[in-house]
Amino acid sequence: MNTAYKCVKITLLVFWCVLTAQAQSNFSSKVIGVGVVVADLERSLDFYVKGIGMVKTGNFTINEDFGKRSGLTDGVATNVTILKLENSPEATDWKLMSFGSKAAHPKPKKIQDDTGMQYITIQVKALQPIIDRLTQMKVPFLGSTPTPLNDKAHFVFVQDPDGNFIELIGPLN
């Protein structure tokens, strides 16, 4: 293979990498904000803050006008509380809001019981403190938890008060 051919090949490869990188960088943030509608905001806040260990980082209101114009609601106002795993701009926003009503569908018992987003995965430094807090709060654990995954990590599976599945993975201590 001659040197000119190698240079053309390398140039084309670099050009393709630049185009691919530009196509994949259409987002202004690496964070996905997740909005979760809950039946009882205080109960859910207790679960996520006191049980899981998330931190409140802010809140905002969706007023009637914006809710209707944006298509978020049918003109119903709501307050949104933002939780994160840590108070950092790179941490995902877990946005809780309530309209004071229960879900229109039954609470799932397993992830195959419904479609759509069924669970989130949270990687933790130590599971035992979370297990202890959730046990004290009388949150039921699903399956044989903690389930060993390998020499270092275990798996814990629970549901929040509205039936959203939470997968916690990490070492016990």
Tell me which architecture the domain covering 31-100 has in CATH.
Roll (3.10)
Domain ranges of the chain: 31-100, 110-173
Higher pLDDT, 133 or 101: 133
Q: Give buried/exposed letters for 34-71 (b at 16+ CB in 10 A, else e).
A: eebebeebeebbebbeebbebeebeeeebeeeebeeee
Query: Whole-angstrom Cα distance, residue 162 to residue 101?
Result: 11
**Whole-number percent of the chain with pLDDT over 70:** 86
How does pLDDT run across 82-117, given as a tens digit for each residue? 999 999 999 999 999 999 888 888 889 998 988 888
Query: Whole-angstrom Cα distance, residue 127 to residue 122?
Result: 10
Is the separation of the CB atoms in 20 and 13 below 8 Å? no
For 110-173, the fitting CATH number among 3.40.190.290, 1.10.579.10, 3.30.720.110, 3.20.20.70 is 3.30.720.110
Q: How many CB atoms lie within 10 A of CB 14?
A: 10
